[in-house]
Structure 1
Amino acid sequence: MILFNCICLLVIVAVLDIHFQGRKAKDFGEKVTNTTKKRRDEIVAQLLSRGHVTVKETAAGMAVSDATVRRDLRALADESKCELVYGGAVLPRDSDFSFQAKSHRNVEAKAIVGQLAASLIKEDDQILIDSGTTAFEMAKHIGRKRSVSVIVNSSRLAAELAHTPGLSVVMLGGHYRPDRMDTIGPLAMTALDQLRGYAAFIGVDGLSMEFGLTASDIESAHLYRLAIKNAREAILLADHAKFQTPSLFKIVDWESVSRVVTDRKPDDKWMEFLTENGIDVIYPEQ
């Protein structure tokens, strides 16, 4: 009888232990799942903000391994939330990385940059403005200038400026992207290569001290590289968020930039870097 009771007690203890271990495993699994979901949501947020992510930067920023980020990106690609590329991922081609979508990000900062940039335009000047949302904010203030020639590859900008007294608008032809309302490709580059003597106001998708100015798509990178090459000077338009990380495709090195217009003073590390490279930094006075 005593032996039978001991056996029953051992069985009960074993069952309770199995249940407890199973509950622990379940709780741990839920914790990992929640952590993974949070991390992947953050990756998606970065994709929507910048258009791309890299494995190295994402792993460093989230304090996880490269292998973990690769697994996350593969899972997101399976859900059609990104497309895998060498070293990282980009937004799907049919995602809403359009002019309208980007125009709702950092609105106040872009307005500040646009107004400051417009103040640099002189009477009888020739300028080129890129097709980004910061440039569109700049265009709102160009009407106060007189006898200014404006080169654009944006149909939205052309329509905004076309009826402004004193402005002459040159619209580059090329392959039209309806989502971004701009033209790119060989035809646009051929037209641009006939132009010289202008000041290029170029917005970017990201910045890096080592990699320079960057764009989220290769077509824009090619076009704006040529625009800067042919310009008498290149003025960078960048709100504070652009200083945090580069995008995927290089436009030019820093030696091609004469001035940077931003909405707030960059941190000491960036200020030192820009000063050492002979680049003027324009930002609002506090």
Structure 2
Amino acid sequence: MSKKEDRKKQLISILKESNGASVKELAAELNVSEMTIRRDLKYLEEKKIIDSFYGSAVFNPREDNPIVSSEKEEQLYSISKNSHKMEFEKNCIGKKAAEMIEEDDIVVIDIGTTTEKLTQNLDNELKFTALVFSANNLLHLLGKQNVDILLSGGIFHRDTGMFESAEEMELINNTRTTKLFLSAAGVHEKLGVTCAYSYEVMVKKKIIKNSLEVILLIDSSKFGNVSSAFICDLNCIDKIITDSKIEQRWVNLMSEKGIEVIIAE
């Protein structure tokens, strides 16, 4: 293997393990010039192995990546496959989030396996209004007699359990909520909050815009991760509810950005 090919292999390995790095960081790590790194990254981007974002690079996890395609164990997100991952931690997060809903609140509950723990842990007597657009959250709310449910329906995405339609967007456009319980696949210092599928993004951006308070429910394993679909920058988030396994450096970073981190135990 040539020196150049060996360096590219090292680049891929670093980006897969670190979930993203800047040109400057990569140049220092491999002891080469930034120009050399930029040439290598351009080649890898053309091969769909990495994605570049404003001087930083991340490994491309999508199926069009030839490396991903050759790794049989690699799987895209699906709600059924992820429902039991970090289940204890997600349940703690869901319980803490459920405690934050107050009488007569108007809340929006995003799709996902962590927000599902919120709807599972709700007080049966609590009276409030919930805007939802996922099958799992709808099913859990049906048993809560005091909850008024807003749901438009539409095309059903089995991978995330999400309903999608033009009517849904109109409903979201015309609804203002006191609290948004947002889900995400990754939180990154430079690249912000991301999710797995592009069809999620429009809905997530709109509910962020129309909510008085944005509360991100995310387990500790997602910090440092980057998925392909960009939701928002960190400055759009008011609070984060996560589990006790979160590294202190992330708590400090969020605090510096004015984001309250709530540890669910």
Q: Which moved more, 1:187-196 or 1:172-181?
A: 172-181
Q: Classify 1:134/1:245 alpha carbon distance in 2 versus 1 (closer, same or farther; 3 Å).
A: same
| 1:89 equivalenced with 2:60 (yes/no) | yes
Provide the rounded CA distance (Å) in 2 between the counterparts of 1:197 and 1:155: 20
Amino acid at match of 2:131: I
Amino acid at match of 1:221: V
Larger Rg: 1
Provide the rounded CA distance (Å) in 1 between the counterparts of 2:132 and 2:218: 18
Q: Deviation string for 1:223-270 (max 9, x for gaps)?
A: 111111100110010110111222222211222211110011633322
- For residue 262 of structure 1, the aligned residue among 215, 221, 242 is 242
| 1:284 equivalenced with 2:256 (yes/no) | no
Alignment length (residue pairs): 231
Residues 225 and 251 of structure 1 are in contact (CA less than 8 Å); yes or no, is this contact kept in structure 2?
yes
Amino acid at match of 2:185: D
Residues 143 and 167 of structure 1 are in contact (CA less than 8 Å); yes or no, is this contact kept in structure 2?
no
After superposition, residues 94-243 of structure 1 pair within 5 angstroms as 97-184=77-164, 186-243=166-223
Q: Classify 1:148/1:106 alpha carbon distance in 2 versus 1 (closer, same or farther; 3 Å).
A: same
Amino acid at match of 2:196: S
Normalising by structure 1, we get a TM-score of 0.68
Q: Deviation string for 1:182-237 (max 9, x for gaps)?
A: 11354432221110033100011000122221112111122111111100110010
Q: Classify 1:96/1:267 alpha carbon distance in 2 versus 1 (closer, same or farther; 3 Å).
A: closer
Percent identical residues = 23
Provide the rounded CA distance (Å) in 2 between the counterparts of 1:103 and 1:113: 14
Amino acid at match of 1:181: G
Normalising by structure 2, we get a TM-score of 0.73
Structure 1 residue 84, shift from structure 2 partner: 5.9
CA RMSD, Structure 1 to Structure 2 (Å) = 3.5
Bigger fraction of residues in helix: 1
Asked which structure has the greater RCO (Cα within 8 Å, sep 6+), the reply is: 2
What are structure 2's unaligned runs of at least 5 residues?
A: 2-8, 31-36, 53-58, 65-74
Amino acid at match of 2:226: P
Provide the rounded CA distance (Å) in 1 between the counterparts of 2:264 and 2:84: 22
Q: Which moved more, 1:198-207 or 1:154-163?
A: 154-163
